[in-house]
Structure 1
């Protein structure tokens, strides 16, 4: 399935003159590109703060540098390993620190949910603004909000006492015998931990989510400036949000192909040539690779020893 995206990219490259894309990149302004790469630093800082806010109600208190290192490691491994393995690294690290598996996964799951929730809200708003898909836009937004509301209701139900017991029994019924007790226990820890979350912590976490994504969108806006686009910040952020939503579809690797097609479609509404749009998408990809490379520093920290222990799993 993940080969579909790269195939789309190859089709696009065959249709365009690669030399034009390279020429657009060659003529791009260097300073905005450098500044865009540096925007990852505040983004990583805000995400680390958010994760610590989500861990604190569970009684998990990591130092900021330790949290930053393991978060960086998760980003690095998320790029260089298949299946977004980096998402699980933080939970496994917390488990190694003596926390239960359910409690360890809670902050990691919530950390990911905040990103997806923000993308859905901002991305749907962008779709309605651009009206790129005509009448289908309303359908997409309606179904998205329906799924979000349904998910919120289900989360509330399964964290109530009756819901906990039902889910625990259901998990035992469908899981292998050797794992059923462990998984059911992990779920109970997970739901109990969710009950400890305080509204203030959840609100602050959302605030730092806005700051983190604002940094990301600032980087994308700077790429537009580097290429000479005359598109305002919010429109650029909307384009980036829609493209990020597209990359969540599990048919590609790092959004190859899917992001490129979305960028061409969205920027086309502003009269941006396809070669320029491909150059823009290439800069976004380069930023993702740069971010992963920057996060590789974590391998040289004490957290790096934990990464080596994972190779034996």
Structure 2
């Protein structure tokens, strides 16, 4: 895709947000911000550490399956830095820089990169699963129930297929030694090398159970942090399942190249969701601002850690 077209697509989200702001009472919006309960907001921000720890521990388990090693404190720092880079780059592509950090610590590039990709896929798969609730909660925005089902099934099957293709030894080997060499024959030697480096990784019941448990734990903290923001604005009429579903749907849609940092996309989902329970557009936009506050926290903390652990300097967290 041409870079100009790519950036134009990303302006869809900001354009949607501008449209909401032009049709909103900014004075009322500011009043809602001022009336927010600060205590749940503080708790939401304070729950960042367990969110990072569970995600980092899951990443370590994926790496261990490929004979890569990293201690938990260093993994937590690198994961936080990856969250920062992901938040400030289109499509969260900066998260892949975690593989660069691993390479600088003596790990081979191919399995390091695959560990980051699989880690991201774990989050997307569970968010799609919970996003089913969100899709049906926002059913009035879609033309038909059949289309809703098709969207959910397509997203779920696609993500599971990609995950199996990359994580299962047989399909991955077929991709690297049969399919890709026919497309790029000059890369055959490199593809064979990558296949050998990732040979130890395969889907086992133990690995699936461990990664699934860590994913459920981390996403539970994500939903808890967001639910606290609903409480801060006294949006108690929205059922918890709808909070989970709409939040998961936002997470999935933010991965599409139609926004910058989820701006606009997040607002569309929240405005539609809260309107169904009698809340105003201004309340939804204020909630979106609080959602953004969590992203800002991740960016600030990740940026600080990136100064401590800049690319080009290997090492581990001092004990």
- Please give the TM-score of this superposition, normalised by the length of structure 2: 0.85
Residues 211-252 of structure 1, C-alpha deviations (whole Å, 9 max, x = no match): 111111111111111111113433222221122222222110
Mapping 1:137-176, distance limit 5 Å: 137-149=145-157, 152-153=160-161, 156=164, 159=168, 161=170, 164-165=173-174, 167-175=176-184
Distance 1:274 1:165, change over 3 A: closer
What is the CA-CA distance between 1:41 and the residue it aligns to?
1.9
- Structure 2 residue aligned with 1:210, among 204, 207, 216? 216
The yes-or-no answer on 1:126 pairing with 2:134 is: yes
Query: Compared with structure 1, are the counterparts of its residues 151 and 238 closer, same or farther at alpha carbon in structure 2 (3 Å cutoff)?
Result: closer
Q: Tell me, in whole angstroms, the C-alpha distance in 2 between the residues paired with 1:18 and 1:190.
A: 56
Cα RMSD for the two superposed structures: 2.6
Q: Which of 56, 80, 99 is the matching residue for 1:91?
A: 99
Q: 2:119 aligns with which of 108, 111, 123?
A: 111
Give the length in aligned residue pairs.
Answer: 304
Segment drifting more, 212-221 vs 91-100? 91-100
Shift of 1:13: 0.8
Cα 1:176–1:76, aligned 2, differ >3 Å: closer, same or farther? farther
Deviations 1:38-68 (CA, angstroms, capped at 9, x unpaired): 1222111110111111111111121111111
Q: Identify the match of residue 53 of structure 1 among 41, 61, 69.
A: 61
Q: What CA distance in whole angstroms lies between the structure 1 residues aligned with 2:84 and 2:165?
A: 35
The question of whether the paired residues in 2 share the 8 Å contact of 1:164 and 1:191 is answered with no
Deviation of 1:140 after TM superposition, in Å, equals 2.8
How far apart are 1:167 and its partner, in Å?
4.4
More displaced 10-residue stretch of structure 1: 252-261 or 184-193 = 184-193
What are the superposed Cα offsets for residues 255-284 of structure 1, whole Å, 9 maximum, x if unpaired? 111110111011111111111011001110
When residues 216 and 155 of structure 1 are mapped into structure 2, their CA distance, relative to the original with a 3 A threshold, is closer
**Judging changes above 3 Å, is the alpha-carbon distance between structure 1 residues 243 and 132 closer, same or farther for their aligned structure 2 residues?**
farther
Deviations 1:173-203 (A, max 9, x none): 43484xx2465236524762432x4321221
Q: Is the 8 A contact 1:58 1:193 kept in 2?
A: yes
CA contact (8 A) 1:171 1:183 kept: no
Tell me which residue corresponds to 1:261.
Answer: 268
DSSP 3-state at the match of 2:235 = coil
Given that 2:227 and 2:243 are in contact with CA atoms closer than 8 Å, whether structure 1 keeps it comes out as yes
Aligned position for 2:3 = none
Q: Does the CA-based 8 Å contact 2:62-2:119 persist in structure 1?
A: yes
Q: Does 1:288 align with 2:288?
A: no
Task: Check 1:189–1:16 CA distance in 2 against 1; reply closer, same or farther (3 A cut).
Answer: farther
Does structure 1 residue 36 correspond to structure 2 residue 36? no
Question: Which whole-Å CA distance do the structure 2 matches of 1:254 and 1:240 have between them?
Answer: 15
Q: Which residue of 2 aligns with 1:304?
A: 310
Say if 1:72 and 1:15 are closer, same or farther in 2 by CA, change over 3 A: same
In the alignment, which residue of structure 2 is the partner of 1:26?
Answer: 34
CA distance in 1, matches of 2:212, 2:152: 19
Report SS of the residue matched to 2:230: helix
Q: 1:150 to 1:79 in 2, by over 3 A?
A: closer
Q: Displacement of 1:297 after TM fit?
A: 2.8
5+ long unaligned stretches in structure 1: 309-313
Match of 2:89 in 1: 81
- Aligned partner of 1:246 in structure 2 is 253
